[in-house]
Amino acid sequence: MKRRTLLSWLLPLSLAGTTLLRRPSQALALGGVLPELEQLAPDFQLDGVAPALGQQQVHGLEQASSEPVPTSLGLSDFRGRWLVLYFYPKDFTSGCTLEARGFQQTLPAFHAATAEVVGVSADDPDQHASFCGSEGLAYPLLSDPGGLVSRRYGSWIAPFSQRHTFLIDPQGELRARWTAVRPAGHSAEVLAKLRDLQAGI
């Protein structure tokens, strides 16, 4: 009798959970509800830092030639180019440093494919400037201290952005996304997907 009662409780809960998981308009991930693929990416406008004009080649890799400069960038600034928008928890931590270095190493290949790379975290612009300078990053880092933009991308658990990446096409549509990213090799994974999309695969 008790077993039947327990099953009568569990069955509706199980069915309700299955129904929620199957809702096509709500892709859930640690960090919130993710924006839908093949739809316009959520808009943003954030302050941060960007490499100063002019970059240099160091051991065959692009590298910022001087201290990064303050900037304010939004989605519309990348119209006409592909955009890799990656969210990460914190500057100078081991995983975030590994991920940043990966994107820096593959940056020439992204640029050759008419794509830009932009990182977003809750760190303030001064912290980003230090991080860019120490790692020689030649791409922008934007500051989202309250998580407003991170929430739009389902990538916020206060007080940090979660390690999620989004690939946005030149028309501003979201074409691919990665959640709970493992930093090692991630930039190569994104680059491969970009090339597949550009080739129509």
Q: How confident is the model at residue 15 (pLDDT cuts 50, 70, 90)?
A: very low
Kindly report, residue by residue over 82-110, the tens digit of the pLDDT: 999 999 999 999 999 999 999 999 999 99
Answer yes or no: is pLDDT of 154 > 70: yes
Give me the pLDDT at residue 117, please: 98
Tokens of 180: 């709970």
What average pLDDT does the structure give for the chain?
A: 86
More confident residue, 127 or 1: 127
Give me the pLDDT at residue 66, please: 66
| DSSP per-residue codes, 117-176 | EEEEESS-HHHHHHHHHHHT--S-EEE-TT-HHHHHTT-EETTEE-S-EEEE-TTSBEEE
Question: How large is the average pLDDT for residues 48-73?
Answer: 70
Q: How confident is the model at residue 27 (pLDDT cuts 50, 70, 90)?
A: confident
> In the structure, how many helices (H) and strands (E) does the chain have?
5, 13
Q: Are 152 and 162 in contact (CB under 8 A)?
A: no
11 sits in the region (left: phi over 0; alpha: psi -120 to 50; else beta) called: alpha
Q: Does the annotation mark 132 as catalytic?
A: no
pTM of full prediction above 0.75:
yes
Structural domains in the chain plus CATH codes: 25-198 (3.40.30.10)
Catalytic residue of the set 34, 96, 107, 117: 96
18 sits in the region (left: phi over 0; alpha: psi -120 to 50; else beta) called: alpha
